[in-house]
């Protein structure tokens, strides 16, 4: 069974550009989460989807970040326009339900120059 996959593994963009990160959860997992780790600090929750609906988006830093999950399958996280402080590693995770283990992807390292 394939794990959580994320694309790209690394993205380097300039300030003001747009970047879209993609996450493919484990098949059959209705719950999908985004987290990020900025500047070697703690990993912080961004948002949580249940199928295609946003269950909790309390961690989204501002309106430059837009997450979608079309059809309840894969999810995208768009940053527009990117700022220097957005640099970090963006993790995606999925789980069958909120009381079971979240399986994490390898992350996307975003560098904004």
Q: Which residues bind other proteins (CB under 8 A)?
A: 3-4, 31, 33, 35, 40-45, 48, 55-56, 58-59, 91, 93, 98-99, 101-107
- CA dihedral angle for residue 60, residue 62, residue 66, residue 71, rounded to 10 degrees: 40
CB of 41 to other proteins, least distance (A): 6
Q: Are 93 and 102 in contact (CB under 8 A)?
A: yes
CB of 17 to other proteins, least distance (A): 25
Q: Which is nearer to other proteins, 17 or 38 (CB)?
A: 38
Backbone dihedral region of 106: left (phi > 0), alpha (psi from -120 to 50 degrees) or beta? Answer: alpha
Q: Which is nearer to other proteins, 18 or 55 (CB)?
A: 55
């Amino acid at each position: 069974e394939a794990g959580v996959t994320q694309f790209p593994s690394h993205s380097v963009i300039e300030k003001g550009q747009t970047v879209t990160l993609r996450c493919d959860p484990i098949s059959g997992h209705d719950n999908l989460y985004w987290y990020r780790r900025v500047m070697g600090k703690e990993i912080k929750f961004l948002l949580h989807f249940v199928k295609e609906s946003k269950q909790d988006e309390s961690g989204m830093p501002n309106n430059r970040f837009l997450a979608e999950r079309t059809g309840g399958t894969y999810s995208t996280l768009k940053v527009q326009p990117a700022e220097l402080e957005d640099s970090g590693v963006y993790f995606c995770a999925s789980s069958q339900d909120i009381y079971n283990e979240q399986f994490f992807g390898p992350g996307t390292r975003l560098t904004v120059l």
